[in-house]
Structure 1
């Protein structure tokens, strides 16, 4: 029976390997490590590029703790979805190999960029640091503490944006002790926080912030803040916070570095305070996580690219709606509230309009832009991003707009908040509805939908469900 079970497991592993690798064309080796190689791969169907990490299970199992490290990295990357964190797209395993299909980041390491330039300008260093903090802050919000942040683990894509990688040493909520602290000493010597070395327990967020400060120091000054060939002397410098911040840096940069590289974690600046710091805030546009409901983003480049918004016949930027979907959009029958922390009435706003999809998107674009937000058209959706400004709330803001077809000249527009302050979202919805000439909309009132004055009767007819699961017929 054991032999049969092993054979079945091996066969399943071979099938998984064949299915995964059959979809990709492997190319040159991008790098090698202790457990295997990373190869460039091209998806045969879409032509998109990926990095496939191929790990030797024998080597992984031969080193104590390495198996747990690999499992931890896979589990962590599976739940992270942020523009500044490397994406994991697929995983497969055979009896001898583990295959991880990762986002291909072709700009090299942050370490290489700094080494090539010597140091970065404050403007460039600030932009990259803002992205680093956005990514790390998102991870902390998910209960993930990296614990090995350094320029070698920060990649640069072709657009010059950062991608945090290598989560093998990260900590998850289940790794916290009864005191709510982490107790495993790990990390790279020059980047490790002093409290991690003391073996008394440490806050994963504050220790990551220290490492981010070391990275910022290197970007702006071109050298390590704490360095010595003698490890004992190095750790003494770290314990004392013994480093000099050059006076030729701007006062804001000097202040932020000193507050981050504070050896006492109780006095160290936290993540929220960093985001509110004057130097950090300059030219800052927060980057929020990917929209969980955005299938194209969630599955990455494996999906074929959809058509852009157009008024052409057969336009794919809008979706035909069947009766079940139509009924489900009614607030009284929407079951999503059972599975969401925030009430659906606070997260989703819907209204009907006789305008074309293009006109609707154009008007929403103008309203959002004039309200100070950034607008991006992605496939069949319009995304509104920005910053929820306030003394205690510098958080990212993300709203998606989508159009559904009810009839030949009637559409439902849905505004869905993925992240951001509810009051700011309501204000934006009020602005959009006002600019579109609407008086009421579903979500903030008990009415089922907002109906433009010219189409009240027609819209009410369309909201009546039909008996069959079909597209609502035109009237």
Structure 2
């Protein structure tokens, strides 16, 4: 009797029918990272797998949200690791990211020992420009260390791991308040749990990293568990080896200023003669990094507004990530539906349904409609998801959120919209109704 062929050896490694998992690249406290390739075009990726049943708690959920949000907003910079897609099952979250085949810069330095000044400056140039771009977008990394600096196939640096990053909306009076990071690389004002400027804290971490690149190790003072003693030795300024050039020593000491007010900022660092000796990274134009000399923002790194995979993360029924990319308050409601109709048909249908429900058309554009009724404003925005498939985001803002403003004594705006638009909507998502 003929035996059936054995199952494909990759069958058990097929992830949601989209990616074939390879070897594990590393593991952290709440995730594992694997190499993988797309089953569609064989392109290599890295996938961070987070087990929701073990790790999603009050402290971990904000980290996941911050990581995805920050990476999405920083997609355009060539020295920041790109995130391609986010998927979810009932038990796991999958972050599909760019694969940095060169591994960690930390491991490279440990293998080779201290780098030449020109080589260290090249990596440092890429790091500083990436962090400067983060700060221009209001994001502080807060966990800058060599283990989070990866190298791509060309040997160029990629800043990764934004799990501890701080978003603009998390700041109070422009300052941060949360203690986080790796002690050896963390600024003293963060360690002392004072209010701090996230960009100045990142600048301190850059000073430690530059020391590490040029010396091949951390100063003994930085390994001390007695932080008072550590900072006293740093203040004395005799921890920098004499074989490091005087200009580089000056940069390190100004970045490792215990006083964040007088500490050198990244903007000031980028104007120093030592930093300007850096060569321009391969395949990247001079204007691709943040600001030009006259202070104007480079047009090459303006955030795109086109529809991509991140905008539909919340369509996963197993894990509600609707709060990842927008701040949702008690008076702001967001729903989405997909449609196979044209944008023009959707706009016309929304106007018609809104009129029947007593709403005034306040704004009409090619891909959006604004409706107003009493104190409630409802915005519809249409984006192309794929060929012949559109995603419509519906936001309701006003007193009572999505409650009806006609004194009808109950009922829900979303129910009326679903009924009115049932001929154009294929499916609605995140359909919680507030009453």
TM-score for both structures, normalised by structure 2: 0.61
Is 2:188 the partner of 1:188?
A: no
1:231 Cα offset (Å)? 3.6
Q: Write the distance in 1 (CA, Å) between the matches of 2:167 and 2:201.
A: 14
Is 2:41 the partner of 1:24?
A: no
The 3-state SS of whatever aligns with 1:246 is: coil
The 3-state SS of whatever aligns with 1:263 is: coil
Q: Write the distance in 2 (CA, Å) between the matches of 1:26 and 1:19.
A: 6
1:45 Cα offset (Å)? 2.0
Q: Write the distance in 1 (CA, Å) between the matches of 2:86 and 2:232.
A: 42
Structure with more helix by fraction: 1
Q: Does the 8 Å CA contact 2:37/2:44 hold for their aligned counterparts?
A: yes
1:234–1:103 CA distance, 2 compared to 1 (3 A): farther
Is 2:192 the partner of 1:204?
A: no
Q: Write the distance in 2 (CA, Å) between the matches of 1:51 and 1:238.
A: 41
Q: CA RMSD in A?
A: 2.9
- Tell me how many residue pairs correspond in the alignment: 288
Can you give the 5+ residue segments of structure 2 that lack an aligned partner in the other structure? Answer: 1-12, 303-435
Deviation per CA, 1:371-406, whole angstroms, max 9, x where unpaired? xx77xxxxxxxxx8689764x549767499xxxxxx
1:91 Cα offset (Å)? 0.4
2:64 to 64, 70, 84: 70
Give 1:154-165 correspondences, 5 Å limit.
154-165=149-160
The 3-state SS of whatever aligns with 1:67 is: helix
In the alignment, what sits opposite 1:89? 84
Can you give the 5+ residue segments of structure 1 that lack an aligned partner in the other structure? Answer: 1-17, 290-372, 375-383, 401-475
1:237 Cα offset (Å)? 4.0
1:274–1:26 CA distance, 2 compared to 1 (3 A): same
In the alignment, what sits opposite 1:338? none
1:57–1:106 CA distance, 2 compared to 1 (3 A): same
Q: Write the distance in 1 (CA, Å) between the matches of 2:27 and 2:301.
A: 41
Is 2:52 the partner of 1:57?
A: yes
Q: Does the 8 Å CA contact 2:14/2:21 hold for their aligned counterparts?
A: no
Deviation per CA, 1:261-283, whole angstroms, max 9, x where unpaired? 11111111112111111000014
Q: Write the distance in 1 (CA, Å) between the matches of 2:147 and 2:239.
A: 23
1:156 Cα offset (Å)? 1.0
Q: Does the 8 Å CA contact 2:133/2:289 hold for their aligned counterparts?
A: no
1:149–1:134 CA distance, 2 compared to 1 (3 A): same
Deviation per CA, 1:433-460, whole angstroms, max 9, x where unpaired? xxxxxxxxxxxxxxxxxxxxxxxxxxxx
Q: Does the 8 Å CA contact 2:176/2:197 hold for their aligned counterparts?
A: yes
Q: Write the distance in 2 (CA, Å) between the matches of 1:191 and 1:152.
A: 11
Q: Write the distance in 2 (CA, Å) between the matches of 1:244 and 1:57.
A: 44
1:130–1:397 CA distance, 2 compared to 1 (3 A): farther
Q: Write the distance in 2 (CA, Å) between the matches of 1:288 and 1:170.
A: 28
Q: Does the 8 Å CA contact 1:20/1:92 hold for their aligned counterparts?
A: no
Q: Write the distance in 1 (CA, Å) between the matches of 2:163 and 2:243.
A: 37
1:136 to 121, 131, 134: 131
1:274–1:114 CA distance, 2 compared to 1 (3 A): same
Q: Write the distance in 1 (CA, Å) between the matches of 2:24 and 2:129.
A: 31
1:19–1:90 CA distance, 2 compared to 1 (3 A): farther
Is 2:204 the partner of 1:247?
A: no
TM-score for both structures, normalised by structure 1: 0.56
In the alignment, what sits opposite 2:110? 115
In the alignment, what sits opposite 1:150? 145
1:394–1:237 CA distance, 2 compared to 1 (3 A): farther
